[in-house]
Structure 1
């Protein structure tokens, strides 16, 4: 419950992490990262992080297009 703002570098690092590892995250890990985003936000960077995480396919999930091909 720390109310201090995180530096921009922290948010940028979070974004790079999300971009790099989004395909390797489990659904539970994605939910945990979304919780972190709610606690520590940046008006410009957080929406990008959210987009990366929400629009990614988690490890063990099947993409909608893959399901259509089955």
Structure 2
């Protein structure tokens, strides 16, 4: 049997969660910006793209809520 190392750092998973949190926040911000630009384009309103951006934002916000919280 293999012995587990006791030198594992407690923040190993939290650093990965921080990276994922940063990535999700960047994506949410990008999609919100693109959604705002799409809504400002008054000539042609693309309701399908507006709904797509809303769903992308919502999905990433849900993933963000499921990430572990640490202080």
For normalisation by structure 2, the TM-score amounts to 0.36
TM-score by length of 1: 0.36
Larger Rg: 2
